[in-house]
Amino acid sequence: MSKDHQKTGEKAASSGTGPTEAGTPGIEHLPGALFRALLWAEPLPPPMLSAARQAAQGTAINWSAIVEALDTSGVGPLAITRMKEIGVADRIDPQAARRWEADRLHAELQCTLQRRDAVRITEHLTRLGIRHAFLKGFAVREWLYQPSWVRASSDSDLLIGPEDIERTRAALFDLGFVQASRTEDFRKFRPARPEEIAATEAEHFELAQFARVLRLANPPEWIFGPDYRRAAPSAFEQLPDGPILNSVVDVHWALHFHFADDRPLDTLTTVRAREGGLDIPTVSIEWHVLYTAFKLYFEAFDRPGWGLHMLADLAALLRAGRSLDWSWLEAQGAKKDLDAMLFYTLSAAERLVGQAIAPVDMMERLATGDVERPEGSKTELDLGDFMPYVLRRRLASSFLESSR
């Protein structure tokens, strides 16, 4: 055992919140049934609940390392909610539990306030005849998570057509939003300078961030209590005249330069929030799967330790979309040379779900690169992963291997 792991084990043992030196070192060794339960979008069904409890009782777990990994990835509200269901919330450090509970309370309030603005935005854009779709965390949260607020989301993402850029900008101004700049911890919002707006629109296929100040007339006592942490995804801030929420909206006219020529708005559908009271337009579930996989795969290289929330999203989408148009997804991967991305992310999401969902023959083609590509294109192998060069095929990771 390394000195670092030895210190972690000694500290956990002395506090009564973790394992002895024999405990597993981190989240990568968390029992599969427990890992799956902590990232499950809905309340745990009885068989899963029983399996998670059994796993938690039968293994020495380094809860300090688990908390750190989950905290880094921003899934504290989801994890603490599922831990309470399983009956293991008392296993983690009390201070960490209080922080996650504070995050949960803030997420619930923020979710409620963001919904109100989403209703105002979609009603106004609909009146103006502007096609739009809510995307990413906000849409998936309302659609697939229960309670919705366990999936923390710092802002609302909106997709429009490039032909409606200026009309949408004006529409959000009508609703009291300004194009804003801010610090990384969602503080100090201010109107963005013209050069900042121009730089954002030139680089990111999106308008500079819109923000609207929501003043909390009767703030709860816990709003800025001792366990509150000022960091994304919380957009609450204490101003001299009282607490506020910065209601933030990102408006995209393309999902990414990879998809700039695609028309996801042609697949518009409406979903109802799991808890009712909110109907929002969004794109097809196939586009949600593709874009979530894309962000999970490529952001993982830029933000180590960040991504469990997107993996949980992708697993929830696969469970919800049992009639997915897999041929469309495979064709998109082939056309844009994203078959490695699809193979690795879908494999990991299936492991989290606990069963194979994607067609076996499609996964085999993605593994070997034997997909039908546009004429003149070639298979790109995976830099940083030598196995496709050695065996001529990609291998799924060992993520949750023992629980299959």
pTM, two decimals, is: 0.90
Residue pair 251/261 in contact (Cβ under 8 Å)? The answer is no
- The token pair that represents 298 in the structure block: 């490529």
Q: Calculate mean pLDDT across residues 126-133.
A: 97
Give the confidence band of 136 by pLDDT, cuts at 50, 70, 90.
very high
Does residue 304 have a cis bond before it (omega within 30 degrees)? no
Q: Strands, E, within 285-387: which ranges? A: none
- The token pair that represents 89 in the structure block: 């919330």
Backbone angles phi, psi at 388, to 5 degrees: -60, -25
Give the confidence band of 376 by pLDDT, cuts at 50, 70, 90.
low
Break the chain into its structural domains and give their ranges: 9-92, 109-283, 286-388
Q: Calculate mean pLDDT across residues 375-394.
A: 79
Of 21-25, 123-127, 258-262, 372-376, the poorest mean pLDDT is in 21-25
Q: How much is the mean pLDDT over the chain?
A: 87
Quick: pLDDT tens for 12-51: 333 333 333 344 567 888 889 999 999 999 999 999 999 9
Residue pair 131/225 in contact (Cβ under 8 Å)? The answer is no
Quick: pLDDT tens for 212-267: 999 999 999 999 999 988 887 888 999 998 999 999 999 999 999 999 999 999 99
Residue 11 is predicted with a pLDDT of: 34
Which residues fall within 8 angstroms of residue 315, CB to CB, at 6 or more apart? Answer: 39, 41, 349, 350, 352, 353
Cα distance between residue 309 and residue 316, in whole Å: 11
In the DSSP assignment, the letter for residue 10 is: H
Residue 46 is predicted with a pLDDT of: 97
Quick: pLDDT tens for 57-104: 877 888 999 999 999 888 999 999 999 999 999 999 999 999 999 999
- The token pair that represents 394 in the structure block: 């990609």
Cα distance between residue 35 and residue 319, in whole Å: 17
Would you say residue 369 has pLDDT above 90?
Answer: no
Cα distance between residue 151 and residue 246, in whole Å: 18
Residue 89 is predicted with a pLDDT of: 94
Report how far apart, in Å, the C-alpha atoms of 164 and of each of 218, 267, 346 are. 37, 17, 34
Would residue 242 be called left, alpha or beta, if left means φ above 0 and alpha means ψ between -120 and 50 degrees? Answer: left
Residue 204 is predicted with a pLDDT of: 87
Of 224 and 373, the one with more pLDDT: 224
Q: Calculate mean pLDDT across residues 281-300.
A: 95
Neighbours of 129 (CB within 10 A): 8
3-state secondary structure of 37: helix
3-state secondary structure of 303: coil
Burial class, 203, CB count within 10 angstroms (exposed 0-12 / middle 13-18 / buried 19+): exposed
In the DSSP assignment, the letter for residue 90 is: G
Helix or strand (DSSP H, E) at 252: strand 242-252
Residue 44 is predicted with a pLDDT of: 97
Q: Calculate mean pLDDT across residues 302-325.
A: 91
Give the confidence band of 274 by pLDDT, cuts at 50, 70, 90.
confident
